[in-house]
Structure 1
Amino acid sequence: MVTWTDINGKMNPVRFKIANEDESISVIKIDKVLTIDMEKLAGNNVLVYKCQSVIKGSERLYELKYEFSTCKWILWKL
């Protein structure tokens, strides 16, 4: 995951890598962040980014979740 952070500490995701079934790697550029929400996932606070990208020629909506306790990003609902 590549992000940039503004002066107030807000994270803005830019792109991420994902492994394909054939073990190749694809880089997905995040075209637009639609919403940013806070929720609890298994008792942990997470930021939920609803995003839009063109993946394999098709526009797709998906969620990226950032878990504060582990500092990990999770690809959700692709």
Structure 2
Amino acid sequence: MKILAKPISVLAYFKADGTPQPLRMTLNDKELKIEQVISVTEEKLAGNRMLVFRCQSEINGELRPFELKYELNTCKWMLWKM
């Protein structure tokens, strides 16, 4: 996987404990459904707490893995690896 670190728009819902669950994302003006969230971990990057979502989606007819990061302090989403 290649590191992209690209800010993106994500449609997500939040569980009762405040944890986001991504549903769809917009990439290159195309809306992609997030088929499966494989794992969720928490990390600190430059002192900022982030949730790392390892996901997979069907892109161009192929199931591809990728990583999304959600910054807890600013509520911003980032496509980290693809």
Report if TM-score (shorter chain) is over 0.5. Answer: yes
* Higher relative contact order, structure no. (Cα contacts within 8 Å, ≥ 6 residues apart): 2
What TM-score do you get using the length of structure 1 for normalisation? 0.87
TM-score relative to the length of structure 2: 0.83
RMSD of equivalent CA atoms: 0.9
* 1:23-73 per-position Cα deviation (integer Å, ceiling 9, x unaligned): xx1111100000000001122110000001101111100000001122110
Segments of 4+ moved more than 3 angstroms: none
Aligned length: 73
Q: How many percent identity over aligned positions?
A: 44
The letter for the 1-side match of 2:73 is: S
Q: Verify: 1:16 aligned to 2:36, yes or no.
A: no
What letter is aligned with 1:29? Answer: K
- Shift of residue 8 of structure 1? 2.1
